[in-house]
């Protein structure tokens, strides 16, 4: 294939740029509740994100990658001109990366999934006509964008209500927090590891029975709980109010829980969103290496997963603070108990979706969860102006990705074609 080396280099560079954008915009979402609720400092959030995003992307990122790589476009239509599919995937990466950079500069949490899906649909419709797009698959993805925030919001609403009843509104909140928070820690460890073991580890060739899956999840849940209890024991009740906040000691206990849910959220995010950066890269690598053949089944090279994981971490470290401020502080006031409910609901929703191969929007899911907690406290607890600007940026993202991809497609075609 002509320009093979150049195309591979471009795929790697654009993929890294897109992954950087995911790190700067999306990982910031995943960590925002932890930082906004003051359970973690920015520095510790970045360290946790780096480790668990990388693990999620590398261990459980394969399932969604195949949807982004070959699920949305009818690749058979490109059989006679595979170079068009290559240019298209490259332009989609560049378009999504540029849009993410713009949104991050504005501090807006947009969906990387929207960006890349819009971009891929845009170039496919222009090059091969509307028939080249697998509209059924795109429709499923679009449906999940509505379902996921509602699901996460509902979950976080009821989770926060349970925290209010069992702990915050009880006669002795501090004593009850020490009693019930370990249960929430077990729940976090169990749910996240269960879905990961069931769905995420397929491409590592580990075929496990249901009993083995449940056993491993239970063991991870128990280990998490033991570590949590050890950390909680060190917390002593403070007799004085801190800043007029009578539940300060209780929130310190929830701060321990937030560390666990932050890890879960980062893992969930890595498993779902790494596909947005490396799906198109994998498609380009597969076509170039096979000399222009468009294969339905091709191995995902491990260096491609590694590239995505590294790019995500770099983006977070270098520019993640902008969006952290919007989601963590702007939508509603978060404390560790509220942040925990957001994180557990959102990460459960995201990991479930990763397992089914649906690229849902982590951004939508997390903002939905934050809204759910805000509603549990009453509508006045929400900053409707910030929410309005977030919703607007969501609506613009799909067409923005598509238009940019079309422009870049024609530029690449003119230079390389």
Per residue in 160-211, pLDDT tens? 899 989 988 888 888 898 899 899 999 888 877 876 676 555 555 667 777 8
Do 264 and 192 form a contact (C-beta atoms < 8 A)?
yes
Position 61 confidence tier, pLDDT thresholds 50, 70, 90: low
CA-CA distance, 148 to 373, in Å (whole number)? 15
Predicted TM-score (pTM) of the model is 0.79
Tokens 């960590």 correspond to 31
Give the list of residues 6+ apart from residue 116 with CB closer than 8 angstroms, or none.
Answer: 18, 68, 92, 93, 96, 276, 277, 279, 280, 401
CB burial of residue 114 (10 Å; 0-12, 13-18, 19+): buried
Whether 273 shows a pLDDT value over 70: the answer reads yes
At residue 68, what are phi and psi to the nearest 5 degrees?
Answer: -65, -35
DSSP-assigned letter for residue 341 = H
Q: How far separated are the first and last CA of the chain, in Å rounded?
A: 12
Examine the pLDDT at 299 and tell me if it is beyond 70. no
Closest CA to 344 of 251, 271, 258: 258
| Residue 225 buriedness (CB in 10 A; 0-12 / 13-18 / 19+) | buried
Q: In this predicted structure, what is the pLDDT of residue 211?
A: 86
Taking a C-beta distance cutoff of 8 angstroms, is the pair 335, 254 a contact?
A: yes
Write the pLDDT tens digit of every residue in 306-321: 888 888 888 888 887 7
CB 71 within 8 A of CB 134: yes
> What tokens were used for 401?
């990705």
* Residue 275 token pair: 């596909």
Token pair 């947009």 is found at: 110
Sign of the C-alpha dihedral computed for residues 218, 223, 226 and 228 taken in this order: negative
Query: For residues 167 and 285, what is the distance between their CA atoms, to the nearest angstrom?
Result: 53
DSSP bridge partners of 179: none
Question: Comparing C-alpha atoms, which of 203, 146, 125 is closest to residue 365?
Answer: 146
For residue 20, the model assigns a pLDDT of: 92
**Res. 133 pLDDT band, cuts 50 70 90:** confident
């Amino acid at each position: 294939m002509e320009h093979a080396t150049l195309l591979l280099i471009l795929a790697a560079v654009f993929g890294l740029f897109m992954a950087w954008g995911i790190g700067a915009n999306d990982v910031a979402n995943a960590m925002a509740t932890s930082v906004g609720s003051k359970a973690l400092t920015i520095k510790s959030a970045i360290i946790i994100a780096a480790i668990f995003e990388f693990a999620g992307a590398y261990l459980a990122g394969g399932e969604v990658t195949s949807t982004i790589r070959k699920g949305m476009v009818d690749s058979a239509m490109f059989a006679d001109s595979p170079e068009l599919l290559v240019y298209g995937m490259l332009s989609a990466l560049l378009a999504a990366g540029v849009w993410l950079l713009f949104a991050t500069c504005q501090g807006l949490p947009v969906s990387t999934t929207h960006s890349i899906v819009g971009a891929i649909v845009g170039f496919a419709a222009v090059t091969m006509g509307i028939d080249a797009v697998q509209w059924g698959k795109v429709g499923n993805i679009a449906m999940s964008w509505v379902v996921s925030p509602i699901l996460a919001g509902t979950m976080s609403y009821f989770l926060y209500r349970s925290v209010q009843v069992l702990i915050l509104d009880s006669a002795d909140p501090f004593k009850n927090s020490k009693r019930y928070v370990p249960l929430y820690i077990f729940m976090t460890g169990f749910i996240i590891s269960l879905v990961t073991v069931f769905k995420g580890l397929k491409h590592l060739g580990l075929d496990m029975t249901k009993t083995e899956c449940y056993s491993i999840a239970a063991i991870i849940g128990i280990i998490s709980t033991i570590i949590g209890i050890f950390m909680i024991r060190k917390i002593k009740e403070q007799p004085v109010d801190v800043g007029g906040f009578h539940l300060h000691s209780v929130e310190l206990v929830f701060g321990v829980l937030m560390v666990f849910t932050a890890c879960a959220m980062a893992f969930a995010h890595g498993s779902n969103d790494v596909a947005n950066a490396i799906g198109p890269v994998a498609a380009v690598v597969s076509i170039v290496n096979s000399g222009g053949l468009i294969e339905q089944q091709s191995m995902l090279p491990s260096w491609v997963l590694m590239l995505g994981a590294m790019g995500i971490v770099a983006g977070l470290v270098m520019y993640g603070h902008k969006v952290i401020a919007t989601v963590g502080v702007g939508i509603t006031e978060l404390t560790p108990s509220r942040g925990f409910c957001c994180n557990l609901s959102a990460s459960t929703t995201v990991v479930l979706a990763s397992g089914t191969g649906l690229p849902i929007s982590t951004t939508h899911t997390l903002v939905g969860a934050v809204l759910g907690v805000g509603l549990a406290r009453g509508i006045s607890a929400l900053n409707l102006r910030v929410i309005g600007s977030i919703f607007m940026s969501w609506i613009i993202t799909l067409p923005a990705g598509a238009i940019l991809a079309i422009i870049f497609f024609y530029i690449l075609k003119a230079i390389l074609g």
